[in-house]
Structure 1
Amino acid sequence: MEALLNQWLWRQEYWLPPGFTWEDMKETENVHYPRPSHLFFGIPCALILTGLRFIFERFVALPLSKKMGIREKYKRKPSNKPILEDFYSKNGKHPTELEILSLSAECNMHIRQVEHWFRYRRNQDRSSTTKKFCEASWRFIIYLISFLIGVAVLIDPLVSSLYWYYMLQLGFYSSMLMTLAFDVKRKDIKEQTVHHFATIFLITFSYCANYIRAGTLVMLLHDAADHFLELAKICNYSKWKRTCNILFVIFALVFIVTRLYLLPTRIIYSTYYYSMLRFQPFFGYYFFNALLMILQILHMIWAYMILQMLYRFTFTGKLGNDVRSDVEDSDDSGQGFKKSSEVEKKRGHRRSNNNCVSRKATENGVISNSH
């Protein structure tokens, strides 16, 4: 397996600058270089973290959510309607007005009843507040530990501590991908998936190519803001609105400073420009900077969402149902009634027009017959 990887994947002309080989990175008594084979431990590390997450959410986060007063709302089950269920599973959760009209006629139901059915059905698929609280608690613990370790590694970069810091990050993001299908479905799930893959590739490449310093700083800047976000979510689920608002503002400021200023002006600029003062361009150079740019684009997308929430908070004093886009679609119970009433008005308007036309036709017929 190692020979096959060395032949097709870890070819030195891909990952190392011209004039350097893997032989130049062999360990000696005094110098220890990272090796690609070291990363294989990331697989059992991901499995271990997944198991620890299950234990933490089951025996720590769940009792904590009850002590903090989180109670689930009653979810009304929709009636058994095979036609609507078939449409829900195949065509989507949010039918258009024309589709609602068609379904109401097909099922012999009132338009508002169809709207209610889809709302109740969507609520059945929506994850509970307790589950979201447990997930946010786990991510808060991991992000906080990672940030503290990153600060310690930055102050005293020992070889062993760097390795375990990398394994923690690689195992965590790998476990996030493993459990993505079972986690709460969020609005930015596509962006999160791209982010996790890009982060895993960055961790892997920066370790193998000995870009340890740049990789460590990138991970540290990411962890600097995320634990504030997860803690804000915990407070939001616990109805601690004021604390949630304060933490979200702190998160937004740290996010903007670290990911929109420090990351592009210090790290990306250094890896893109200063590295070429010492080495000639090679595949790994373009690969590494392309991954950093993908992360930066995602940061700009999330920053736009964050600034929208800060704008709304500034002028209304409210952040909304949750922080950032990292949340499920909000309950649209009010929208369902609004849409159904609009459909009813349109249908009633059409009916009144049809009645007027029929009355005019009748009157014309009576008049013509009388003549």
Structure 2
Amino acid sequence: MLAWLSDVFWDERLWFPKGLGWKDLKDRDDRVYAKPADLWVVLPMALGLMVVRQIFERTVGMRLAALLGVKATKRHRATPNPALEAFYSKTTKYPTQSSVESLCTQTGYTQQQVQRWFRRRRNQDRPNLLKKFQEASWRFTFYLLLFVGGLAALIDKPWLYNLDEMWKGFPVLTLLPSQYWYYVIELSFYASLLFSVASDVKRKDFKEQIVHHVATILLISFSWCVNYIRAGTLIMLLHDSADYLLESAKMFNYAGWRNTCNNIFILFAAVFIITRLVIFPFRIMYCTVVYPLTIYPAFFGYYFFNGLMITLQCLHIFWAVLIIRMAVRFLTSNEKVEDARSDKEETDDSEEEEEMKNGGVKKNGPVQNGHVTHNHNNSHHKTE
């Protein structure tokens, strides 16, 4: 059964145009070609990157944080209370007014004490500012290294300037050492992000991030297996060109460098829109969707590869909308860059308590940040 499944999966009719197959990618005449078996090295490298990341965040990340004045957020911890903890864990983190009144009866707390307990308990689950900075510093460093490395690997290649060169000689395209390492390191990095996503800072687009990581890993892996190496390197370079700018904007945001953060974010938004909404769909996708059909008839791999490309483009549009909204908001109001993907730290002071006593709580929604809202996703957010 396993042998049959293997034969079906690696069927040349799925992976190559008619008349081409795995025999065309056998090493010969001192020419080396990409092979699916080469990708097994990605798993140990991804695990190794996760270890390196932990060391980096605890050393370099901590020193950068200290240099920029980023400190761990000081929070009041919620007093242990079994009844409130059970409600928080099993029912909801945002109790309605009627639930608050019921919990007051069970615990003997006042409404203000119950509301304060839930605010503090929610804050405990939110990632610390220092952790956010450490994550951003790691991603910034690695994205920047990937971009510089990818640019160095492609700067002298003709397909960087003439996209028609992507398919010249396909599928017999010799694998260069620089292409091998660019692929392996990039794929290992995205695999490490997927493995660590459960422990990373949670954002509102968590599901979209999962889809993006999976689609990226499949796209890179598939392009490697069928020797779409030239197209793959261009796609990776295009994506790496903006990501390090976003992470650097986050770092300065956490450090409180408002103007620097805003300026970098504007630069990031411009690069993102140009690369993801102009170059990617109208240049790169044109050369993967339209141009190949002038060389060979469509096959399953053609549809699969471009299906992943379309998935990425849909995610680009989704994120572009968020980016444009944030850019317009602070450009028109001169406010700090805000990210609609992450939760804001909730306040816990005497003024808010006084506001609650003066009727700040209504009965038609959950209590959040000292105010009532019908949906906790409507809370204010800061740049992650």
Question: How much does 1:4 deviate?
Answer: 7.5
Match of residue 356 from structure 1: none
Question: What secondary structure is seen at the aligned counterpart in 2 of 1:333?
Answer: coil
1:1-371 paired onto structure 2 within 5 Å: 6-157=6-157, 159-320=176-337, 322=338, 324-325=339-340, 328-333=342-347, 344=361
Question: What secondary structure is seen at the aligned counterpart in 1 of 2:59?
Answer: helix
Q: How many residues align?
A: 343
Question: How much does 1:153 deviate?
Answer: 1.7
Match of residue 366 from structure 1: none
Q: Which amino acid aligns with 1:113?
A: Q
Change (3 A) 1:345 1:194: closer
Question: How much does 1:96 deviate?
Answer: 3.0
Q: RMSD in angstroms over aligned alpha carbons?
A: 2.3
Question: How much does 1:67 deviate?
Answer: 2.5
Question: How much does 1:222 deviate?
Answer: 0.6
Question: How much does 1:174 deviate?
Answer: 0.4
Q: Which amino acid aligns with 1:64?
A: L
209-218 or 332-341, which deviates more: 332-341
Contact 1:188 1:325 in 2 (8 A): no
Contact 1:309 1:319 in 2 (8 A): no
Question: What secondary structure is seen at the aligned counterpart in 2 of 1:92?
Answer: coil
Structure 1 residues 48-106: Cα deviation after superposition (integer angstroms, max 9, x where no partner): 21121111111211122122211223211112221111111112322233333333333
Q: Which amino acid aligns with 1:184?
A: V
Q: Which amino acid aligns with 2:347?
A: S
Q: What is the aligned-residue identity percentage?
A: 46
Structure 1 residues 108-151: Cα deviation after superposition (integer angstroms, max 9, x where no partner): 33222221111100111111111111111110011001111111
Question: How much does 1:242 deviate?
Answer: 0.7
Match of residue 172 from structure 2: none
How far apart in 2 are the matches of 1:30 and 1:10? 25
Contact 2:83 2:107 in 1 (8 A): yes
Q: Which amino acid aligns with 1:104?
A: C
Question: What secondary structure is seen at the aligned counterpart in 2 of 1:77?
Answer: coil
308-317 or 22-31, which deviates more: 22-31
Contact 2:70 2:254 in 1 (8 A): yes
Contact 2:96 2:363 in 1 (8 A): no
Give structure 2 stretches of 5+ with no counterpart.
Answer: 158-174, 365-384
Q: Which amino acid aligns with 2:336?
A: L
Q: Which amino acid aligns with 1:233?
A: K
Give structure 1 stretches of 5+ with no counterpart.
Answer: 348-371
Q: Which amino acid aligns with 2:193?
A: M
How far apart in 2 are the matches of 1:214 and 1:269? 11
How far apart in 1 are the matches of 2:300 and 2:261? 44
Change (3 A) 1:29 1:230: same
How far apart in 2 are the matches of 1:346 and 1:166? 56
Contact 2:258 2:336 in 1 (8 A): no
Higher helix share: 1
Contact 2:97 2:363 in 1 (8 A): no
